[in-house]
Structure 1
Amino acid sequence: MASFSKARTALAALREGLSGAVFAPGDPGYDQARTAFTALPERRPAVVAQCADEADVVRAVRFGRELDLRIAVRGGGHGLVGALVDGALVVDLRRMRRVTVDPAAAAVRIEGGATAGDVDRATRRRGLDAGGARSPAVGMGGLVLAGGLGRLDRSIGLAVDHLLGVELVTAGAERVRAGAQEHPELFWALHGGGGNFGIATALTLRLHRLPEVCSALLLCLPRFGPAVIRAFREVVRTGPDRVGGAVTQVTVDRPMCAVLLTYAGDEADLRRLAAPLLAVPHEAEVWGAEAHPPPDSPSGLRAHWSAECLAALPDELVDLFCARAEARPVPAWSRHLLFPLGGAVAAGPAGYPVPYRDAAWVVHPFACWADPADDERALAWVREARADVRPWSTGAVCLALVGDEGPERVRAGLGAGNLLRLEKVKRAYDPDNVFRFNHNIRPV
């Protein structure tokens, strides 16, 4: 650790040189800069560097390495792993949100702090889509690099499948561009290996032309939950890959089971496909632009979530899912999600470290609560939701949907057969394991 005088001098230089903003304990704005989506646990970084561009990221990494500080990276969204670390330098990318669409090349360049909502606003008005998260608040960088899931995956594939290039700042503060021809091993590792190899300051994704994307939202009483999920399962089984969606629970004056259907096509086709769902008694149905997922829980709450990838969705599992959903802690904020895979996900490139492609469904328990007295009850609910479905689990997991659940889950999220190759890439680009506050890959 550097001496106090050296650290003070280096911090002053960082404040002077950064185009963005720098916050240390005691500074006005520090508490806001360290606020996370989840209040569990509270973290106090040594320095938060809110970078405005790639040059700022280079300066911040050099500062951290000079002072032998631990370095954590904060992207544009939220997660349970590594964004804020006690006593560390946090390289915060949330000011870097520029999204640049090139319609002629059918490509989009996304800065490292952009959210899925930022990307949708820039692409959908042109009838284009990059794939993306189920929530507009999710950071695109973390979602893509961790092989995360989105609302149109069955139709166009995972967002990471459309990755054309990544602009990266390494642990040595060097700028690297990885693509199919440049740093190809690094480019391979970035297809699911997460933030292990550097700080992704920008990603370029291939766009898909989707002139029409429509949605439908149905709300039914919880007692009809098993019937509506079975009907949803039938819509997915018999319909084209262009249909997808999710089931969750909401509280709209009273608890409801919500089914969101998404479709890469026109509303008339979706209405025809949705016939089995519409036959189930329901309290409301919404079509078109007003049909959207329930809003995210507010930030600043305590939160924990996880996921399991499933080989099938038999009736027994449907009943377990519905019972666990009704038992969720703090129903106004907590969610229990169920959504289908298959289609273009299963047909995507097999060579990358995305091991869950053969899963048919995913369950995603997501607990949010405010009172620390509810901690154990909420954490236990997430554990029990996973345990319910374990007999049908494929064993793989989407790392973008889980927190720190131990090295075996990391292996399950990367694919055991990929680990040695990933460790060699890690050794080449981050031999000191500087970027380790994530689902970590150690240098071999």
Structure 2
Amino acid sequence: MSVDTTKGVLGDATIGELEAGLRGTVVRPGDASYDEARTIWNAAHDKHPALVVRCAGTADVLRAVEFARSQDLLVAVRGGAHSIAGFSTCDGGIVIDLSGMRGAVVDPRRRRAVAQAGLTWGDLDHETQAFGLAVTGGLVSSTGIAGFTLGGGVGWLLRRHGLASDNLTAAEVVTADGRVVRADEREHSELFWALRGGGGNFGVVTSLEYALHPVGPQVLAGLIVYPLDQARQVVTRWRELIADMPDELTTLLDLTTAPPVPFLPSEVHGTRVVVLAGMYAGAPAAGEAAVAALRALGTPIADVLGPMPYAGMQSLLDPLWTAGAHNYFTSAFIEPTDAAVDALLRQHLRTPTPSSELHLHQLGGAFARVPAGATAFSQRRASVLCNVIARAPGAAGFEDHVAWARGAREEIAVHGGGSMYVNFTGDAGADKVRASYPGEVHERLVRVKDAYDPTNLFRLNQNIRPSAAAR
């Protein structure tokens, strides 16, 4: 059922004036496309914005920002619309929808790509792999490039080439006061620093320029599945291996429930398992020795790790992460001590639904070698990022599932410094934001916020509050 959230707030003439200045379109309650336009990937957030402005280019974004400011509207910015925390939608405000802005230009000689903010990682990988190039992208190909990058960007190339944000070389930004600026190392350099890990706090990023790297087209990648009774052995052996793995190899341990996929025996379907996922970002033949130890973590139920296209690995998990489910993520940077392993295994046995999981992302390598303070992303010392996921097909019982995830996170987080990863955050309060941007980093982010968004127009994010709002 549509809800007329514009009634008594915005008149038809006012909206008509906005629409007349756009190449894109305005969708409002009552329009045939409204329910489709307001829906995001994460069905846990069922909001009714007053307007959805589907932008065709930067000029439309500029017009939408000016309109939102003049009408004092809450602003949600939407790229790929995965929106784990629900920030790409709102009730009663304006959604600035970039999903129609999907252009990309690849310069193979300079190894650069300029990509509009509505692209997904599947889109960008398609363009860059035509030249045998890539940049660290999402683990699910329908993830939008913009929000992913601004929050850091953890993916299969992390240990070889760093975060997505580490490879951001420039960005075009529409600021709260109606300017269009280019941020890079020379121009608006403080804004550029803040964009690399500070999230969507500082403006609407309309295009991103990335440094690219030779990757693929074939890589050594895939999954190895181990049974529950070997979980402790697998996790502890993996913990011992990760300190000395080559940078080309990035792995993830998934404490999950076996889905009904063809490569698993039917009797395993629906049982708890440990899945080792990994990719060697080098010649597949050279990676065989590196992954041999992964095959010896235990006695696998299935081993489907082998040569495959890079784009195939980037989309391998897509069938398990389709739109329309209820999702809640929360996270902690940890060290996998014996006590941490105990906590992880306890919570694995308590997962409330078959699709609720605990992901252990291996860090280190190029990720850890970025100098302290070089970017706003500051959690470079931890060896593991734990993502606690509550996921269910519908709303029934979902609040209980979220309570499990929050409790699991609190038990696991004591084995780290208390900080979270902003892209894997369901509902971080100010205390957790401060913990994720400690000390001088947070103070510097506030100064950038004061310079580019002093009234906190862009506050649907893991919010860095400007000085005026903090008083």
TM-score (norm 2): 0.88
* Residue aligning to 1:240: 246
Out of 377, 380, 390, the residue aligned to residue 413 of structure 2 is 390
Distance in structure 1 (CA, Å) of the matches to 2:191 and 2:29? 36
Q: How far does the alpha carbon of each residue in 1:326-374 deviate from its partner, in whole angstroms, 9 at most, with x for none?
A: 321220x222211110111110132122121011001101111134331
In 2, are the aligned partners of 1:192 and 1:414 still within 8 Å (CA)? no
Distance in structure 1 (CA, Å) of the matches to 2:452 and 2:226? 51
* Residue aligning to 1:53: 57
Out of 365, 370, 382, the residue aligned to residue 343 of structure 1 is 365
Q: How does 1:70-81 map to 2 (within 5 A)?
A: 70-79=74-83, 80-81=85-86
Distance in structure 2 (CA, Å) of the matches to 1:207 and 1:168? 21
Out of 331, 338, 349, the residue aligned to residue 307 of structure 1 is 331
* Residue aligning to 2:266: none
Q: SS in structure 2 opposite 1:201?
A: strand
Distance in structure 2 (CA, Å) of the matches to 1:341 and 1:355? 13
Distance in structure 1 (CA, Å) of the matches to 2:303 and 2:318? 13
* Residue aligning to 1:92: 97
**Alignment partner of 1:227 is 2:233:** yes
Query: C-alpha displacement at 1:299, in angstroms?
Result: 1.8
Q: SS in structure 2 opposite 1:276?
A: helix
What letter is aligned with 2:325?
A: L
Distance in structure 2 (CA, Å) of the matches to 1:5 and 1:215? 53
* Residue aligning to 1:295: 319
What letter is aligned with 1:122?
A: E
In 1, are the aligned partners of 2:141 and 2:318 still within 8 Å (CA)? no
Q: How does 1:73-152 map to 2 (within 5 A)?
A: 73-79=77-83, 80-152=85-157
Q: How far does the alpha carbon of each residue in 1:130-186 deviate from its partner, in whole angstroms, 9 at most, with x for none?
A: 112222122211111112312211111111111111101111222111111111121
Q: SS in structure 1 opposite 2:390?
A: strand
In 1, are the aligned partners of 2:81 and 2:88 still within 8 Å (CA)? no
Q: How far does the alpha carbon of each residue in 1:243-301 deviate from its partner, in whole angstroms, 9 at most, with x for none?
A: 11211124233333211111111333333222233232112111222663463433222
Q: Compared with structure 1, are the counterparts of its residues 3 and 21 closer, same or farther at alpha carbon in structure 2 (3 Å cutoff)?
A: closer
Q: How does 1:180-191 map to 2 (within 5 A)?
A: 180-191=185-196
Q: Compared with structure 1, are the counterparts of its residues 3 and 86 closer, same or farther at alpha carbon in structure 2 (3 Å cutoff)?
A: closer
Decide which moves more: 343-352 or 12-21.
12-21
Residue identity over aligned pairs, in percent, reads: 36
In 1, are the aligned partners of 2:44 and 2:395 still within 8 Å (CA)? no
Q: Compared with structure 1, are the counterparts of its residues 277 and 425 closer, same or farther at alpha carbon in structure 2 (3 Å cutoff)?
A: closer
Out of 257, 266, 281, the residue aligned to residue 274 of structure 2 is 257
Distance in structure 1 (CA, Å) of the matches to 2:404 and 2:459? 28
* Residue aligning to 1:328: 351
Out of 144, 148, 159, the residue aligned to residue 154 of structure 1 is 159
Decide which moves more: 44-53 or 410-419.
410-419
In 1, are the aligned partners of 2:23 and 2:56 still within 8 Å (CA)? yes
Query: C-alpha displacement at 1:3, in angstroms?
Result: 10
Unaligned runs of 5+ in 1: none
Query: C-alpha displacement at 1:37, in angstroms?
Result: 1.8
Q: Compared with structure 1, are the counterparts of its residues 106 and 284 closer, same or farther at alpha carbon in structure 2 (3 Å cutoff)?
A: same
* Residue aligning to 2:389: 366
* Residue aligning to 2:292: 275
Q: Compared with structure 1, are the counterparts of its residues 214 and 124 closer, same or farther at alpha carbon in structure 2 (3 Å cutoff)?
A: farther
Q: How far does the alpha carbon of each residue in 1:51-105 deviate from its partner, in whole angstroms, 9 at most, with x for none?
A: 1111111121122223222211112141214211110011011111222211111
Query: C-alpha displacement at 1:6, in angstroms?
Result: 6.7
* Residue aligning to 2:264: none
Distance in structure 2 (CA, Å) of the matches to 1:147 and 1:194? 8
**Alignment partner of 1:69 is 2:73:** yes
Distance in structure 2 (CA, Å) of the matches to 1:356 and 1:203? 23
Unaligned runs of 5+ in 2: 1-5, 261-268
Out of 21, 31, 36, the residue aligned to residue 32 of structure 1 is 36
Q: SS in structure 1 opposite 2:45?
A: coil
Query: C-alpha displacement at 1:437, in angstroms?
Result: 1.0
What letter is aligned with 1:409?
A: K
TM-score (norm 1): 0.94
In 1, are the aligned partners of 2:135 and 2:157 still within 8 Å (CA)? no
Q: How does 1:392-411 map to 2 (within 5 A)?
A: 392-411=415-434
In 2, are the aligned partners of 1:101 and 1:108 still within 8 Å (CA)? yes
**Alignment partner of 1:413 is 2:424:** no
In 1, are the aligned partners of 2:136 and 2:153 still within 8 Å (CA)? no
Decide which moves more: 319-328 or 358-367.
319-328
Query: C-alpha displacement at 1:44, in angstroms?
Result: 0.6
Query: C-alpha displacement at 1:302, in angstroms?
Result: 1.8
